[in-house]
Chains A and B, each alone.
Chain A
């Protein structure tokens, strides 16, 4: 501990300190952790091999039946054999997630951009947004099904309601980080209000906007799957209830594997986006 501290250049730069407070820093600490050495990659792979291999070995050793816990090899097999039945459901899940998130995310972003310009409106609206953030939108799905039927609509609405407020609340935090000197700079070169918004306010808020999009999309995924489990006959969430009802556990876990990969992909995508568009801060 002391040695590593001594090896670093003692730089107590105020900008670094400021950057640690907000923005992508939470993402990076959670995150892929920047550069890895070859050794670290090797160890990560070894741990994965150990866990998967160990599970396979123990389940075989203790003769655990596949309907209690399937072996990793059975899950992989099921993934390949069932794929032709699963991919239409994957497409439906992706469609609902994408459309719901696009609607919720855009509305959330626009609302954040607008209300942060009017402190009074912001104070009035914030409690309601908090209510939307903290209430599980899944609870609304049965109600929405009554109104919109068993199609994609109720699920899309639920996804929008779950992801929108997340995007909004984080983006609003970003838009509130005004740097008056930077706005004055733009104005001194004759910038219009719109130009100040597009060239100063949005880039300034970008780290928090991306955090909002990431959290919002993950919440959207949760809500999509949950809503599909509640009702209807399609989507990966529906397949989960279907296979568990038939006690076809390898297929059930194959879907869990797909969902895990989906979640990780979303995370990696926004991590990459953050590096690209908001890397100046992290």
Chain B
């Protein structure tokens, strides 16, 4: 509890420049049963090189928020900026990683990783791809098809695919949600290492509180219907964080604290910095 610094000014990257700004983002979906209010006036700043986790129950608009940040969704109101640039369509500096790896089943691993280059009509960066494949332990699997790979390997391939174009921002949409607990721990460690090595700016959507605390510099908690940010927690646990940290009492305390905040409605508790 005492480790959970909720004053955001004390986060390690607090001095880092702002990379992305979500400014009063509002989104309505038109469905057959009427309007769905998915995002309500969401404002958020993502700092350069920060690992930000967006946490919330299903249907709270966190995927909508992330897809909007990736330029895949239009907003009904407000705007999203990368630096000074307004995001209205996908941006080459931003790469996305999706649920269930989202590999194309008709292409082998190499074909899948070459996809972004094909779409951009440039030659694949062979050296970078080789290094990345080696980094995630997929060397020698280039000719395998997605169905021949385990869920963890598929997701690793999709990480390589996204990093191969060297984006500065990675948006990850519940990437490990479908994996078993052991693979998930493994993937969390891997993404932590990759983040520490590359210092990409990462926004990571999850509905697992433990995953959010384990990975993040800051955890943004959202509530559902309409989706809005209820609180933001700084996580100042030193890195690298081992998997075992999740069983320590201090860690569990943090989890329980956020859990109780989610369960006890949306109002800010006294003493918590709310954005």
A residues near B, CB below 8 A? Answer: 15, 181-182, 184-191, 195, 199-200, 203-204, 206, 278, 280-281
A8 to B67, CA, bound (A): 41
Q: Sample 28 A-B pairs with CB under 8 A, ordered by A number.
A: A15-B147, A181-B98, A181-B100, A181-B102, A182-B104, A184-B67, A184-B72, A185-B96, A186-B115, A187-B72, A187-B90, A188-B70, A188-B71, A188-B72, A188-B94, A189-B90, A189-B116, A189-B120, A191-B119, A195-B119, A199-B118, A200-B104, A203-B106, A206-B106, A278-B106, A280-B145, A281-B105, A281-B106
Which residues 87-110 of B have a CB within 8 angstroms of A?
A: 90, 92, 94-96, 98-100, 102, 104-107
Q: In the complex, how many angstroms separate the beta carbon of A255 from the nearest chain B beta carbon?
A: 40
- Chain A hits for B100, CB < 8 A: 181
Min distance, Cβ B50 to any Cβ of chain A, angstroms: 20
- B14-53 vs A: 1/0 string, CB under 8 Å? 0000000000000000000000000000000000000000
What CA separation (Å) do A187 and B70 show in the bound complex?
A: 10
B163 located at the interface, meaning its Cβ lies under 8 Å from any Cβ of chain A in the complex: no
B98 in complex: contacting residue of A15, A185, A195, CB < 8 Å: A185
Q: Is B165 an interface position by the 8 A CB rule?
A: yes
In the complex, which residues of chain B have a beta carbon less than 8 angstroms from the beta carbon of A280? 105-106, 145, 147
Q: Which residues from chain B contact A15 at a C-beta distance below 8 Å?
A: 147
- In whole Å, how far is A133's beta carbon from the nearest beta carbon of chain B? 28
Instruction: Tell me which of B90, B102, B107 contacts A190 (CB under 8 A).
Output: B90
* B108-132 at interface with A (beta carbon < 8 Å): 115-116, 118-120
A188 to B119 Cα, complex, angstroms: 10
- In contact, B120 and A199 (Cβ under 8 angstroms): no
A189 touches B165 (CB 8 A): yes
Decide yes or no: A199 and B98 within 8 Å by CB, A188-B72, A280-B106, A281-B105 being known contacts. no
B145 close to A190 (CB less than 8 A): no
Residue of A whose beta carbon sits closest to that of B118: A199
User: Is A188 a contact of B106 with CB atoms below 8 Å?
Assistant: no
- Bound: A185/B101 CA distance, A: 10
Min CB–CB distance A20 → chain B (angstroms): 14
Expressed in whole angstroms, the minimum distance between the Cβ of A9 and any Cβ of chain B is 14
Instruction: Give Cα A204 to B102, complex, Å.
Output: 13
Chain A residues positioned under 8 Å from B106 (CB to CB): 203-204, 206, 278, 280-281
CA distance A187 to B119 in the complex (A): 9
- B contacts, CB < 8 Å to A: 67, 70-72, 90, 92, 94-96, 98-100, 102, 104-107, 115-116, 118-120, 145, 147, 165
A207 to B228: give the CA distance in the assembly, Å: 43
Q: Closest CB-CB distance, A22 to chain B, in whole Å?
A: 13
**CB distance B115 to A189 under 8 Å?**
yes
Apart from A188-B70, A190-B119, A280-B106, what 9 extra A-B contacts exist at CB < 8 Å?
Answer: A182-B102, A184-B67, A188-B94, A188-B96, A189-B115, A189-B120, A189-B165, A191-B119, A278-B106
Point out the residues of chain B lying under 8 angstroms from A281, CB to CB.
105-106
B70: which A residues are within 8 A, CB to CB?
188
B183 to chain A, nearest CB (A): 16
B95 is contacted by which of A181, A188, A200, A204 (Cβ under 8 Å)?
A188
Question: In the assembly, what is the distance between CA of A281 and CA of B107, in Å?
Answer: 11
Contacts of A189 in B (CB 8 A): 90, 95, 115-116, 119-120, 165
Whether the pair B72, A186 counts as a contact (CB closer than 8 A) is no
Residue of B nearest to A195 (CB): B119
Residues of B within 8 A of A206 (CB): 106
Say yes or no: A199 contacts B115, CB within 8 Å. yes
A136 vs chain B, min Cβ distance (A): 36
A119 CB to nearest chain B CB (Å): 14
Report the separation of the CA atoms of residues A190 and B145 in the bound assembly, to the nearest whole angstrom. 24
A189 CA / B113 CA spacing, docked (Å): 12
Residues of A contacting B67 in the complex (Cβ-Cβ under 8 angstroms):
184
Residues of B within 8 A of A204 (CB): 106
In the complex, A213→B56 CA distance in Å?
Answer: 47
CB distance from B55 to the nearest CB of A (A): 21
Minimum-distance CB pairs A-B, first 7: A189-B116, A188-B96, A280-B106, A280-B105, A191-B119, A203-B106, A189-B119
Residues of B within 8 A of A278 (CB): 106
- Which residue of B is nearest A188, CB measured? B96
Residues of A within 8 A of B147 (CB): 15, 280
Q: Which residues of chain A have C-beta atoms less than 8 A from B98's C-beta?
A: 181, 184-185
